[in-house]
Structure 1
Amino acid sequence: MSRFRKLSHTIWHCQYHIVWVPKYRHRILTGRVAEEVGWCIRAFAEQQKGEVVELNVQFDHVHWLVWVPPKVSLSDFVGTVKGRTAIRVFNKFRELKRRLYWGHRFWARGYCVDTVGLDEAKIRAYVQYQERRERRAEQQGLDV
């Protein structure tokens, strides 16, 4: 399988490592709550045409590696997944909402994101290769 994905007019490799935490970093992502969070993240990411590669729900944070198409805004993507997951978890586990410290928020504001790109050395070599290939093609065209 190629590391690139395809759309009708685009070949892309937009892979991100995303991390976020529950409000006040409370250690509540355990048992059934953790299972529901994992299921929700996968379902809501898929609805937005994202593809979860890896997902790890820890006691007090979530790590995931996800492909996001370039036509989708990353901040909208994460905001939708976080928001819909929070609604779903609060509806399913009503006892969580009764805790005074939540203030109708399940997740802390913001998130951490890092791009998972191609190796810089490989890109430089590829660009150099393309330049050499183009020169050879020009020389062969002139010789004909």
Structure 2
Amino acid sequence: MSVTVRSSSDVVFQCAFHVVWCPKFRRRVLDGRVEERLKQLIREVVEERGAWLAALEVMPDHVHLLVEVDPQYGVHRLVKAIKARTSRVLRDEFPTPRSRLPTLWTNSYFVATTGGAPLAAIERYVELQKGR
């Protein structure tokens, strides 16, 4: 999937972001059924918030997301919504995150625009992270 020029009622944009965040204490709790449910929840939130998912990889101790977001909505609001929903649902549905962590996610995250690198290179990087 490549970044395309998109538009809303009053703005035309091309905004793609690489976002990375970790569980609290970088605990390795994102595997198996937790990983699959997390991916499903992220896709749901991205769709509900009117963003576009380009790539998603979940490692046991961090999440990589390549997403396009309307600049009027903002990547920070999208990440906040994803982290809030996934923390609540995963801690309700699975005992491991609830028993091992006071909260699922750290407050921080990394975000970078993809303007400095070709989108294909970033997509490849995200895919290759699975092998680490």
TM class by shorter-chain length? Answer: 0.7 to 0.9
Deviation larger for 71-80 or 84-93: 71-80
1:122-133 matched pairs, under 5 angstroms? none
State the Cα distance separating 1:9 from its structure 2 match.
Answer: 2.2
In the TM superposition, what whole-angstrom CA distance separates every residue of 1:69-128 from its partner, at most 9, and x where no partner exists? Answer: 1110221211111011100101111343123xx22x101121000001277xxxxxxxxx
Q: CA RMSD in A?
A: 1.7
CA distance in 2, matches of 1:2, 1:29: 28
Question: 1:117 corresponds to which residue?
Answer: 115
Unaligned runs of 5+ in 1: 120-144
Scaled by the length of structure 1, the TM-score of the pair is 0.75
When residues 118 and 9 of structure 1 are mapped into structure 2, their CA distance, relative to the original with a 3 A threshold, is: farther
Question: 1:13 corresponds to which residue?
Answer: 14
CA distance in 1, matches of 2:55, 2:61: 17
Secondary structure in structure 1 of the residue aligned to 2:70: coil
State the Cα distance separating 1:2 from its structure 2 match.
Answer: 7.4
For these two proteins, the number of residue pairs brought into alignment is: 116
CA distance in 1, matches of 2:7, 2:39: 27
The structure with the largest alpha-carbon Rg is 1
Percent of residue pairs bearing the same amino acid type: 34
Question: 1:98 corresponds to which residue?
Answer: 99
CA distance in 2, matches of 1:25, 1:113: 17
State the Cα distance separating 1:67 from its structure 2 match.
Answer: 0.5
Structure 1 outlier segments of 4+, above 6 Å: none
CA distance in 2, matches of 1:95, 1:30: 11
Question: 2:29·2:61 contact (CA, 8 Å) conserved in 1?
Answer: yes
Whichever residue aligns with residue 108 of structure 1, its letter is: T
Question: 2:3·2:16 contact (CA, 8 Å) conserved in 1?
Answer: no
Scaled by the length of structure 2, the TM-score of the pair is 0.81
Pair 1:52-2:53 in alignment: yes
Unaligned runs of 5+ in 2: 118-132
Whichever residue aligns with residue 75 of structure 1, its letter is: H
Question: 1:133 corresponds to which residue?
Answer: none
